[in-house]
Structure 1
Amino acid sequence: MVVATRVDESSLHYRGWRVVLACFLMAFFMFGFGLYGQGVYLAELQRAHGWPGTLISAASTFSFLLTSVLVVFTDDLLARIGLRSLILGGLVALGASTVLLALMQTPWQLYLAYALMSVGWTGMGTVVIATVLNSWFERRRGLALSLAFNGATCGGIILVPLLLSLTGSIGFRSAMLTVTLAMMALVVPVVVIFVGWPAGMSPASDRRSEGGRAAARGQSRKALLANAAFWTMVLPIAIAVMAQMGFIIHQVSFLEPLIGRASAGLAVTLMAAMAVVGRLSLGLFVDRLDPRLACAASMTSQAAALLVLLQSTSPTMLLLCCAVYGFSIGNMITFPPLIIQREIGAGAFAAAMGLGTSISGVVSAFGPGLVGVVRSLTGNYTTAFAMCVALDLMAAGLVLWRPGRRVKVASL
């Protein structure tokens, strides 16, 4: 008889916490460059090349749409090329993207850079991080996810102001190249040394039949798509993230004329800092919360912050609104794995995360472009951000709808 050894997940010697550190760094640079940094690119590329904001916003939308297609196949890529190869491939793609952003001269290079960024999201994004940590943690899963995803928020706190500061002193090109080099020096050794699956566990551990595994994945995805409960988890979060991404990408361009570059950078820092507080708060109390109710409250708070932001011209009030808005930003990527784990379970976790992230990504990808188009048509951000308020309120109502039928999917 085999006796299972109970792992002490609370011990600092547990290897899973080193995996959390690696995931933190992955999220730091992926979200720093791939999400929060796009507001910097929008402003700097307009200034350097005179390209219209709609062109650059459309490139952001293209990137997020492509990411949404690629992320569906994350589970297949993990099984085919392995965890470490997928992450390192994503890292190389992200590095190539940021180098190209620094050196580009023509619009087609912008779209190539954003396509490479999509490959980076596939190798270093939320699906990979959530799937890996789900395999390492059971009793401390919520805390592990919160700590790792705080890397995403810290990307906004540290990376964006750093890029803005370096751009002011050494120029946008040198700033991007310098931070890219730092990313490679930090992330490569940590991934190589620390990242891996727990002993005897991986998406590819069942080698009985690749065709059978593909069929099981297909059955799980088909069952999820046919179930209303799955859609009431995915669609409202997608709508809220669409509004959120639209605001984040345009935040610097909106605030800079009102309060200046330095204060706009401070607003990003405050927003991201409050996201850390919000996510840590969720991680500490996650077992006592109804994730759907907490999600609705977060969406409503974002709507309220944006509404006040549109009515104010006071620098202090604008900064305060960005801080309130930021409190729930981080939790928008933490809620999906928590709801999926609770309502779907571990058997189809990777399939549900991949499919849900893809659907959410397709919807939310229109956020930057939609805000950019409305801003161009109206000549200001008032109508565009008012639209984001309406989207948040609609999402908050939808996520509270709980169809009676529980999600049932085939175990992978």
Structure 2
Amino acid sequence: MIAATGVDESSLHYRGWRVVLACFLMAFFMFGFGLYGQGVYLAELQRAHGWPGTLVSAASTFSFLLTSVLVIFTDDLLARIGLRALILCGLTALGASTALLGLMQAPWQLYLAYALMSVGWTGMGSVVIATVLNAWFARRRGLALSLAFNGATFGGIILVPVLLALSSSIGFRSAMLAATIVMVVLVLPVVIVFTGWPVDASPNGAGVSGGKAARHSRKELLANASFWTMVLPIAIALLAQMGFIIHQVTFLEPLIGRASAGLAVTIMAAMAVVGRLSLGLFVDRLDPRLACAASMTSQAAALLVLLQSQSPTVLLMCCAVYGFSIGNMITFPPLIIQREIGSTAFAAAMGLGTSISGVVSAFGPGIVGLVRSASGDYTMAFAMCVVLDVVAAGIVLWRPGKRAEVAAS
């Protein structure tokens, strides 16, 4: 059962909205530092130390893969050390990582910093955010998730330009240390004061399985068709999405110029915010599988038109349409899991699903790059992304049998 049932979730006085604020700040800094900021680190570390780009890029890949392993055990950690302790561990690890990025002198320290960042993802990433909001909200869950995950997009829109501006004015080292201090000052008190489970929620009711039960539920998840018809399409769509995002500027620059290509990225990010907010207002009244399929189809359509046009206006509009659904790809999984798998195995399903989709989507930029190199341009590469989105939309609409609870027995 969801502890929030029976309370007025629409009231601004409901404590769950303060938890949403805490989750927004967690997403802002975790995605800002841990995802969008990696392009800044690549440029600044190369400039400061003369390290090859392959060294820094390999450290990023190492971090994402380690994160995909660690998030599997989020439910065990929640049961053993508790929600607030896990978040504080994540905040400490992320703070140590960002401070070390500014202070490092040797390549081994880079890998240590990125390993600490992976621990940060485990304590402050999408699995923890979705699990705690699942416990606090029933009727307004979709809106709560949309608002919280918008912190991730704002992290890219705000934190990255701030880091770049500070690096230019006071140096990369001072910029990272200053940003780390600001993060701790903002996030620490909010986490201590606002985060926690609803008073009448047991750990299992909040979707946290303990010890043996969590491991048992993961085994059952792997044999559950509803789980796979959610995880596989999300993983496939994210693979295509990551491939397009990373190669977007390279594709657009010859067509519309560097400045307009940069504008396209900004428009896409802004539309991701609009998309999350728009969907969040009514997603709780929609079938999440149908809405997910519609989002995937809209991205396929945007890419298809993108390949057929050279008009700057049309290309920018395609990026706007594509961006509208970008953020929602991490909003749909918790909604589908809660409806079809249930609360008891929620954290286990989120952790395992996030791990699988994270590993699969990590290959997106590389696969798009390989197809582009083999074919000579982006036509075949982005056409492949269109096909992947259509296939993903078809799989997510498949409803294998009735609702299957994967609760640990």
Residues 6-50 of structure 1 deviation map (CA, whole Å, 9 limit, x = unaligned): 422222112111111000100111112222233444455556666
Alignment of 1:35 with 2:35, yes or no, is: yes
Q: Give the distance between the partners of 1:302 and 1:184, measured in 2 at CA.
A: 37
Amino acid at match of 1:269: T
Question: What residue is the counterpart of 2:121 in the other structure?
Answer: 121
Q: Unpaired runs of 5+ in structure 2? A: none
Contact 1:239 1:395 in 2 (8 A): yes
Question: What residue is the counterpart of 1:232 in the other structure?
Answer: 229
Contact 2:249 2:262 in 1 (8 A): yes
Counterparts in 2 of 1:319 and 1:91: CA distance versus 1, 3 Å: farther
Deviation at 1:349, TM superposition (A): 1.5
Q: Give the distance between the partners of 1:53 and 1:372, measured in 2 at CA.
A: 17
Alignment of 1:15 with 2:6, yes or no, is: no
Residues 142-183 of structure 1 deviation map (CA, whole Å, 9 limit, x = unaligned): 221111111112222222333344445445444433322221
Counterparts in 2 of 1:179 and 1:107: CA distance versus 1, 3 Å: same
Q: Give the distance between the partners of 1:99 and 1:257, measured in 2 at CA.
A: 38
Contact 2:226 2:341 in 1 (8 A): no
Alignment of 1:357 with 2:354, yes or no, is: yes
Contact 1:68 1:362 in 2 (8 A): yes
Q: Under a length normalisation based on structure 1, what TM-score does the superposition of the two structures give?
A: 0.85
Question: What residue is the counterpart of 2:99 in the other structure?
Answer: 99
Question: What residue is the counterpart of 2:284 in the other structure?
Answer: 287
Counterparts in 2 of 1:83 and 1:248: CA distance versus 1, 3 Å: same
Counterparts in 2 of 1:355 and 1:319: CA distance versus 1, 3 Å: same
Question: What residue is the counterpart of 2:163 in the other structure?
Answer: 163
Contact 2:25 2:187 in 1 (8 A): yes
Alignment of 1:329 with 2:306, yes or no, is: no
Residues 311-365 of structure 1 deviation map (CA, whole Å, 9 limit, x = unaligned): 6666554443332221111110100011111112223222211221122222222
Amino acid at match of 1:362: V
Contact 2:205 2:344 in 1 (8 A): no
Counterparts in 2 of 1:305 and 1:39: CA distance versus 1, 3 Å: farther
Amino acid at match of 2:136: W
SS of 1:347's partner is coil
Percent of matched pairs sharing the same residue: 83
SS of 2:176's partner is helix
Alignment of 1:84-233 (within 5 A): 84-104=84-104, 106-203=106-203, 213-233=210-230
Alignment of 1:66 with 2:66, yes or no, is: yes
Amino acid at match of 2:20: V
Contact 1:298 1:328 in 2 (8 A): yes
Question: What residue is the counterpart of 1:345 in the other structure?
Answer: 342
Contact 1:160 1:268 in 2 (8 A): no
Contact 2:102 2:174 in 1 (8 A): yes
Residues 198-223 of structure 1 deviation map (CA, whole Å, 9 limit, x = unaligned): 114242799xxx9x943322332222
Q: Give the distance between the partners of 1:242 and 1:162, measured in 2 at CA.
A: 29
Contact 2:79 2:210 in 1 (8 A): no
Amino acid at match of 1:184: V
Contact 1:161 1:266 in 2 (8 A): no
Deviation at 1:66, TM superposition (A): 1.0
Q: Under a length normalisation based on structure 2, what TM-score does the superposition of the two structures give?
A: 0.86
Q: Tell which deviates more after alignment, 21-30 or 180-189.
A: 180-189
Q: What RMSD, in angstroms, separates the aligned Cα atoms of the two structures?
A: 3.2
Counterparts in 2 of 1:148 and 1:243: CA distance versus 1, 3 Å: same
Residues 261-315 of structure 1 deviation map (CA, whole Å, 9 limit, x = unaligned): 7655544332222112111222112133221122122122223333444566665
SS of 1:294's partner is helix
Q: Give the distance between the partners of 2:358 and 2:105, measured in 1 at CA.
A: 28
Contact 2:236 2:389 in 1 (8 A): yes
